[in-house]
Amino acid sequence: MPRFETDSGGLSNLIYWQEQFVMSSIGFIKRIIPFLATLTIGLFIASFFVDLVPRPFVFAEGRRRRCHDFQELYMQEHDRRIQVEQELNRMRQNPIPLHSQPWTDQDAFVPPPTVVRIPRTVR
pLDDT digits (tens, 9 = 90+) for 85-105: 999 998 888 877 666 555 555
Check whether 68 has a pLDDT greater than 80.
yes
pLDDT digits (tens, 9 = 90+) for 21-53: 777 778 788 888 999 999 999 989 988 888 777
Instruction: Annotate the chain with DSSP letters as a single string.
Output: -PPPP-SS-HHHHHHHHHHHHHHHHHHHHHHHHHHHHHHHHHHHHHTTTS--SPPP----HHHHHHHHHHHHHHHHHHHHHHHHHHHHHHHHHS---SSSS----TTS--PPPPP-PPPPPP-
Q: Can you give the pLDDT at residue 1?
A: 47
Q: Can you give the pLDDT at residue 107?
A: 57
Domains in the chain: boundaries: 1-54, 58-92
